Amino acid sequence: MTTETARTGAHARVATSLQLSGISYVLSRALLDGIDLELRAGELTAVSGPSGSGKTTLLSIAGGLVEPTTGTATFGDRPMWQGTGDPRPEVAFVLQVYGLVPILSARENVSVALRARGVGPREADERAEAALARFHISDLGDRQVEELSGGQMQRVACARGLVVGAGVLLADEPTSELDEGNRMLVLTELRAEAERGAVVVVATHDPAVVDLCDTHYVLDEGRLVDHVEEVHLTGRSRPVQLPRHAAPAEPAVPAEPEPEVLPEPPHPEHPGLHDEPHHEPLHEPLHEPLHESQHRAADEGPDDTDDTDDVNAAFRRPGP
């Protein structure tokens, strides 16, 4: 491996898992509780669950952006949390709110992820071009991101996440704005990342996406719950039966109110990775990667909330 590929993580063949052990994350209440997971290299892992169930928080801890209150996230026996909120170089994100820089071109938004890892400008641009091509948006390379549609921006964000050849790729609802063809394209590319040996985790509301993953975990109110068969019909994903102690102590309760009915705006100082209004103040910042320091406004967010109630109902665990 060259020094550069070692530094950038590009083309790294990793055969290691991302382990989450005893994870909780507590602000004024527990947003995550008792999470034990092995996210395996070479597989596509889906994390689903209702809006507000903790998917984004889980990915933030898994990627080292947020320090868990208890427990550890480790990859290759090293902790993901480095004490600063900066992720390790082998981690890449596709953020739920894209995290693109509006005034840069699509190509620049992708190449900046490589530049931040020390790749020279020419190589970074070439690799950015190739990454855009993977998502069939080569023609958008020179366009400013703020001119693009939501679905186009989402594909740029996917290109940026995949371009670095990360050992750990954490994609937060990466297909929420996409039609079926592009959704399959993104899943195919995520699959390719897994096949070169990466840990690939996809937070999603979409049963069709879940169905294309190998392993599926469901969160409800910050806890892992048993897999619900109704949303796992035909595909490759392997339902995960959790030990009894991991199931919620109480029957599932009705879904939390959808964001549009909540009066509070997103926390002004700590928008973090979240694009939804929150119930309570944040006591710790939810950090972002350095190269993803500018976020789009939350109100340009996904339009996939129309069917959220149905999807949430499908994901929700029936009472005992």
Residue closer to Mg ion by CB (options 14, 202) is 202
In whole angstroms, what is the distance from residue 285 CA to residue 220 CA? 23
113 binds, among Mg ion, ligand ADP, none (CB under 5 to 8 A by kind): none
Buried b (16+ CB within 10 A) or exposed e, 2-26: eeeeeebbbebebebbbbbeebbbe
Shortest separation between residue 175's beta carbon and ligand ADP, angstroms: 15
Part in contact with ligand ADP (CB under 6 A); list of ranges 3-11, 138-146, 239-247, 264-272: 264-272
In whole angstroms, what is the distance from residue 235 CA to residue 197 CA? 21
Residue closer to ligand ADP by CB (options 240, 282) is 282
DSSP per residue over 98-142, as a string? ----TTSBHHHHHHHHHHTTT--HHHHHHHHHHHHHHTT-GGGTT
157: nearest Cα among 140, 133, 132: 132
Contact 234, 298 (CB under 8 A): no
Considering only residues 264, 280, 303, 309, which one is a binding residue for ligand ADP as defined by CB under 6 A? 280
Rg (CA), the chain: 18
Shortest separation between residue 212's beta carbon and ligand ADP, angstroms: 20
Considering only residues 30, 104, 255, 282, which one is a binding residue for ligand ADP as defined by CB under 6 A? 282
279 binds, among Mg ion, ligand ADP, none (CB under 5 to 8 A by kind): ligand ADP
Residue closer to Mg ion by CB (options 56, 154) is 56
Residue closer to ligand ADP by CB (options 120, 257) is 257
Shortest separation between residue 284's beta carbon and ligand ADP, angstroms: 9
Q: How far is CA 231 from CA 110, 178, 182, 238, 312, in A?
A: 34, 20, 21, 12, 10
Considering only residues 278, 287, 291, 316, which one is a binding residue for ligand ADP as defined by CB under 6 A? 278
Binding residues (CB under 5 A) for Mg ion: these are 55-56
227 binds ligand ADP (CB under 6 A): no
Q: What is the chain's length?
A: 320
Residue closer to Mg ion by CB (options 92, 219) is 219
Shortest separation between residue 48's beta carbon and ligand ADP, angstroms: 9
Shortest separation between residue 263's beta carbon and Mg ion, angstroms: 20
Shortest separation between residue 276's beta carbon and Mg ion, angstroms: 7
87 binds, among Mg ion, ligand ADP, none (CB under 5 to 8 A by kind): none
DSSP per residue over 249-289, as a string? SSPPPPPPPPGGG--PPPPSS--TT--S--SS--SS-----
Shortest separation between residue 98's beta carbon and ligand ADP, angstroms: 15
- Reported as half-sphere exposure (CB side, CA atoms, 13 A), residue 59 has a value of 31
Shortest separation between residue 227's beta carbon and ligand ADP, angstroms: 17
Q: For residue 190, how many other CB atoms are within 10 A of its CB?
A: 26
Query: Among positive and negative, which fits the CA dihedral 55, 59, 62, 68?
Result: negative
Residues in 27-86 at the binding interface with ligand ADP, rule: CB under 6 A:
27, 31, 49, 51-57
Q: How far is CA 88 from CA 78, 81, 117, 235, in A?
A: 10, 8, 11, 33
279 binds ligand ADP (CB under 6 A): yes
Point out which residues bind ligand ADP (CB under 6 A): 27, 31, 49, 51-57, 267, 270, 272, 274, 278-280, 282, 286
